[in-house]
Amino acid sequence: MIDKKELYYEKIRNNLIGHKIKEVFYQEINYQMNAEYWDLAPMIHSVDMNVIFELDNGKIIQIKWDNEFYCYGIGFENIDKIDNKEGFNTINLTSNSVWTNLIGKEITGIKVLWDIDEHAKEKTLKNDKVISTKEISINVPQTWEIQFEYGNKIWISALEIKDDEQVFYWQDHLTLFFDNAGQEKYELIKKASAQHAV
């Protein structure tokens, strides 16, 4: 049987590596009030739902937080089209200054930064009642380090920053870092329990 992580790496390899981003979109929940403030800092963007890449081969990749391994990690899926779903705002960021030098550049690699919880609890249920609980080790793909040709890198992480001080990992949220200073400040690489280059 093929390991779940290996399938995850293969899916990344087959869908993203060697391709170029043609357009990029952020998708956020429409709260009917103030919009989500995605421009957290000049080199940090905060997105409550999805980051969508339209690639040079016509594929549309939706990067999201999900529970493929455990809530919440970085996952993705192929989608048929980019649309304004009811209850969501879809924002085109292609001409935003942090993206302009990445558009049209080949994705040469993605490093998956894993986080681990050695004390997660797994419950066994019977007739909707907990009959036993045991400690298990959970691995979550917390962050992607996306590498582009000519050495450019960005980081997409399932974390949320509040008031530039409080940081919450394993969140139903995505934060993007466009320089190494932001990555270092929030210790994305330092806190990773394991790394795997795709």
pTM here is 0.84
Half-sphere exposure of 8 toward its Cβ, with a 13 Å CA cutoff?
A: 22
Q: What is the mean pLDDT of each run of 10 residues along the chain (198 residues)?
A: 84 97 90 61 87 96 84 89 80 93 97 77 72 72 94 93 73 91 88 82
Where are any strands of DSSP class E within the chain?
21-29, 39-41, 44-47, 50-55, 60-66, 73-79, 88-92, 107-126, 129-148, 153-157, 159-162, 166-169, 174-177, 194-197
State the pLDDT at residue 166.
Answer: 76
Q: Is the peptide bond before 72 cis (omega within 30 degrees of 0)?
A: yes
Round to whole Å and give the CA distance between 111 and 144: 6
DSSP annotation of 187? T
pLDDT at residue 153, rounded to an integer: 97
Task: Indicate the domain borders of the chain.
Answer: 4-197
Cβ atoms of residues 140 and 117 within 8 Å: yes
Whole-number pLDDT of residue 139: 83
Question: Do 64 and 50 touch, CB atoms closer than 8 A?
Answer: yes
